[in-house]
Amino acid sequence: MPKKVGKHGGNRSSEIITASYIAGLYFQENYPDANIFLIGESAMEQELDGFDVARTKDPMEATHLLVGMDSGFTYEKLHIGMKSVRNGSPIDRNQY
């Protein structure tokens, strides 16, 4: 039985579930044919590689825009991501 940790009674677990993992599950289960344009860290890319979801580097080919933490975020990346949105891609954000 897991031990309670913290004053709020959370349970300790041997696994950590990240927002990127949940995003991968979400796309795999709800949008299996999605073609994702990703703005985020390489860790997000690596996590999504474990799921059967396609990614594109071309914002005009994307069916979804996934945005997460990106320490190298620039206005250029924002501009490119907005091209995807203007082309009809919904924005899916990944919060850490």
Please write the tens of the pLDDT for every residue from 5-22: 455 455 555 678 888 999
Q: What are phi and psi of 12, to 5 degrees?
A: -80, 140
Judged by DSSP in three states, 93 sits in strand
CB count in 10 Å sphere of residue 54: 14
User: Can you give the pLDDT at residue 38?
Assistant: 94
User: Can you give the pLDDT at residue 12?
Assistant: 56
Is the pLDDT at 1 greater than 80? The verdict is no
pTM: 0.76
Q: What is the number of alpha carbons within 13 Å of residue 21 lying toward its C-beta?
A: 4
Sign of CA dihedral 66, 59, 83, 45: positive
User: Can you give the pLDDT at residue 2?
Assistant: 47
Average pLDDT along the chain: 84
Query: Which domains does the chain show, CATH number per domain?
Result: 33-96 (3.40.50.1000)
Q: What is the number of alpha carbons within 13 Å of residue 26 lying toward its C-beta?
A: 13
The beta strand positions in the chain, using DSSP E, are: 4-5, 10-11, 35-39, 54-56, 64-67, 91-93
